[in-house]
Amino acid sequence: MTTRININGIIEEDAVVSVLDHGFLFGDSIYEVVSTRGNRPCFLDEHLQRLRRSAEGIALTLPHDDEWFCQQVAFTLGSAGNTESYIRIIVTRGIGEIDIDPSTCHSPCVLIFVTSARIYPREWYENGIHLAVVNTKRNLKDALNPGIKTGNYLNNVLAKMESDRLGAQDALMLNSWGQLAESTTSNFFFVREGRILTPALDCGILAGITRNTVIRLAEENGFLVEEGEWPVEVLEKADEMFLTGTVKQIMPVTRLDGKIIGDGKPGSITRKLIHLYENLLKGLG
């Protein structure tokens, strides 16, 4: 496993970020996680588009165009030379005074972190994971919009710690109105009577790139997909559940709060979508 860190266009062995960087001090930063197929980035255009939307969301001007990001990602991937990679692109507000006012930060810091691909245990895909509905609510859309992928992930960190204490592999977070929202680093789907259901973007979630792809693939293959606002009780009648995300891809959920979902195995629609998604990725490699 080789890790390479590209900082402002230069690969440095011992890359460091200043303690006065507002990304470190206040979580004043944005980021993207990108996976690879054949060690080439998947959906990089979509990730760069979202990075740009996140930058707008925190009024940060990206110091480079997409072409620069593509070149630097390729350069860093090539330098690390792993078989498959985990790519994290981070843009921080930069160095400023030790005060929340971002106007003292004049130069954003751009990091491209490349290491070998993170792989979850095979068993999690074969048997499904245990998800816990946590008390930690997803950030209010009007406060820190989950639609902006900022480096301030404390909300999600606290939810993850809560799910760990509950003995689950991940957390299902609700919004402040008690509606289903998302997991800590992935989007949430459930299946009921053959229909695929997922919280709407208005519930205060990240517009996941995997979520989008899965919705498209499902619709193209004749499934009915519905985005909506649901209380957690709707899950009592769910036949299947799964999470989607760049690293997890499509991860079946077979236990919710300790209760078995369906027959306790990944459901047929979830398996079909995993197959369709895998075929799509194969085509990218």
Residues in contact with ligand PDD by CB under 6 A are 33, 156, 182, 185-187, 206, 208-211, 244-247
Q: What minimum distance in Å lies between the beta carbon of 162 and ligand PDD?
A: 15
Q: What minimum distance in Å lies between the beta carbon of 185 and ligand PDD?
A: 4
For ligand PDD, which is the closer residue by CB, 42 or 95?
42
For ligand PDD, which is the closer residue by CB, 96 or 175?
175
For ligand PDD, which is the closer residue by CB, 21 or 182?
182
For ligand PDD, which is the closer residue by CB, 72 or 213?
213
Q: What minimum distance in Å lies between the beta carbon of 147 and ligand PDD?
A: 10
CA distance 152 to 130: 25
Which residues sit opposite 34 in a β-bridge? 87
Q: What minimum distance in Å lies between the beta carbon of 245 and ligand PDD?
A: 4
3-state SS track over 159-217: HHHHHHHCCCCEEEEECCCCEEEEECCCEEEEEECCEEEEECHHHCCCCCHHHHHHHHH
For ligand PDD, which is the closer residue by CB, 105 or 188?
188
For ligand PDD, which is the closer residue by CB, 4 or 160?
160
DSSP β-ladder status, 129-133 and 249-256: parallel
Q: What minimum distance in Å lies between the beta carbon of 179 and ligand PDD?
A: 15
For ligand PDD, which is the closer residue by CB, 93 or 149?
149
Q: What minimum distance in Å lies between the beta carbon of 264 and ligand PDD?
A: 25
For ligand PDD, which is the closer residue by CB, 6 or 150?
150
Q: What minimum distance in Å lies between the beta carbon of 11 and ligand PDD?
A: 22
